[in-house]
Amino acid sequence: MAQQEPRGMREQLWDPIAGFGVTFRTMFKKVVTEQYPFEKLPTAPRFHGRHQLNRWPDGLEKCIGCELCAWACPADAIYVEGASNTEDERFSPGERYGRVYQINYLRCILCGLCIEACPTRALTMTNEYELADDNRADLIYEKSDLLAPLLPGMEQPPHPMRLGDDEGDYYRGTWSAPAPTERTASQ
Ligand code: SF4
Ligand code: SF4
């Protein structure tokens, strides 16, 4: 086996100088360290964060309990149970609504396939990324955790359809009555 050549005096002197040169140059570069969680930087606009179940402008829920999101999920992280609306107890326009809706964030990989599968745009993703917790149960988000907040002028379901005579008016946007928010604004 060939013996390693001893390093010359020149290399032995030069190597530490070259190393300190790297340190010296780096001292003047822009610092990239992020002081999280004390300073929170905004995410990219299309960042995939926590999900949200959206509402129509009158407060009715957009989810129709069809389970397409659950079938599209590669991690089996979504559980949906649909139920029928009645004229006395209506949660969404049309026949069905999502009675039970859960997302298990221990499984979810935030890939976004579920929101692509949703036919009513009921399910979208927010930019919220702080999803850690100290126990497993609290990482299964229920419908109440995922529903969008009621904005001014929205009404907590169940209530009748305020924006049209049937669900077609909602989906086509051909609302025969102004949204409650618009009514409030014009008053
Ligand atoms: S983001 Fe991906 S992994 Fe998470 S619930 Fe949706 S489809 Fe499933
Ligand atoms: S979120 Fe969308 S895809 Fe999932 S059950 Fe509701 S309507 Fe269907």
Contact (Cβ atoms closer than 8 angstroms) between residue 92 and residue 84: no
Residue with CA nearest ligand 1 atom 7:
73
Residue from 52, 120, 143, 171 whose mutation best tests the ligand 2 pocket (most atoms within 8 A of CB): 120
Residue 9's pLDDT is what? 80
Contact (Cβ atoms closer than 8 angstroms) between residue 110 and residue 48: yes
The model's pTM? 0.81
Q: Is the dihedral of CA 7, 8, 13, 15 positive or negative?
A: negative
Round to whole Å and give the CA distance between 63 and 52: 11
Residue with CA nearest ligand 2 atom 6:
63
Round to whole Å and give the CA distance between 102 and 118: 15
Residue with CA nearest ligand 1 atom 6:
114
Measure 40 CA to ligand 1 centroid, in angstroms: 25
Average pLDDT per 10 consecutive residues for the chain, totaling 187 residues: 68 88 92 91 95 97 98 98 96 97 98 98 97 96 98 95 92 71 39
Residue 5's pLDDT is what? 65
**Digit-coded pLDDT (tens) for 4-52:** 666 788 888 888 999 999 999 999 999 888 899 999 999 999 999 999 9
Q: For each of the domains in the chain, give its residue range(s) and CATH number, in order of start.
A: 51-172 (3.30.70.3270)
Residue with CA nearest ligand 1 atom 3:
108
Residue 13's pLDDT is what? 87
Contact (Cβ atoms closer than 8 angstroms) between residue 163 and residue 58: yes
Residue 185's pLDDT is what? 35
| Ligand 2 pocket residue status of 63, Cβ below 6 Å | yes
